[in-house]
Amino acid sequence: MVYEAFTQHSDGTLIIGPLRSDDSGVFTCTASSQQQLEQRQLQLKVQADLKITTAPNSIQVSEGSTALLPCVVSGDNVNIGWSRNGVPVRPDGRKILTSSDGSLILNNVKPSDEGTYTCNAYTGIYSVSATAEVRVTKDTQGGDVPPECVDQPELANCELIVYARLCSNSYYSSFCCASCTRHSQRNKRFGRLG
């Protein structure tokens, strides 16, 4: 654990460190002699670290479903904006929404919604960003995937699980039931091994 220290040098300089957000406030420097007294005040504002604590993951979603791209940020007075392929994404309150924590929600996704989505968080002169790919698949399986068989993207990147051929592993496939089932059906349909 790092402990905060206040050190005053012989020339009057005050050193504070490491800074914490509750160090914010007004500091008064007082210099006096027998003849006079001088005071100067300085306001110190300590900003919390700007960090993306929950970043979006690359996801694959079925056409017509909802895509959720989380972007949870720590810091003070943070602004969050989203872009797709470098172009700002404007929430319309219906198809494109942003939650109170800054996450992006895309309803009724279409192939035209595919792309690289970037969460940009900024405060003052500081900024951080995180990027994720969104891929949209056409659901050609009809009712082949049972309704209780769903992906859990918050636990595993299902696109990666399928790509790495981990669907035969019961632990990983349990998080990616829908993706693994569709992959298995495609392989049977086209006679591929995987």
pLDDT single digits (tens) 62-103: 888 899 999 999 888 889 999 999 999 999 988 999 998 899
Q: What is the pLDDT of residue 45?
A: 65
CATH 2.60.40.10 fits 48-139, yes or no: yes
Q: Which residues contact 56 (CB under 8 A, 6 or more apart)?
A: 69, 70, 71, 103, 104, 117, 119, 130, 131, 132
Q: What is the pLDDT of residue 18?
A: 62
Give the model's confidence band at 2: pLDDT under 50 very low, under 70 low, under 90 confident, else very high.
Answer: very low
Residue 115 pLDDT exceeds 60: yes
**pLDDT, the chain, mean:** 81
Beta-carbon neighbour count of residue 99 at 10 Å?
A: 12
Hey, where are the domains in the chain? 5-44, 48-139, 140-194
Residue 145 pLDDT exceeds 90: no
Question: Contact 132/69 with Cβ under 8 angstroms?
Answer: yes
Q: What is the pLDDT of residue 15?
A: 76
- Pick the closest to residue 177 from 154, 148, 143, 137 (CA basis): 148
Q: Which of 13-27, 44-58, 82-96, 144-158 has the lowest mean pLDDT?
A: 13-27
CA diameter of the chain: 97
Question: Contact 16/8 with Cβ under 8 angstroms?
Answer: no
Residue with more model confidence, 70 or 23:
70
Give SS3 for 74. Answer: strand
Residue 170 pLDDT exceeds 90: no
- Please indicate, yes or no, whether the overall pTM of this predicted structure exceeds 0.75: no
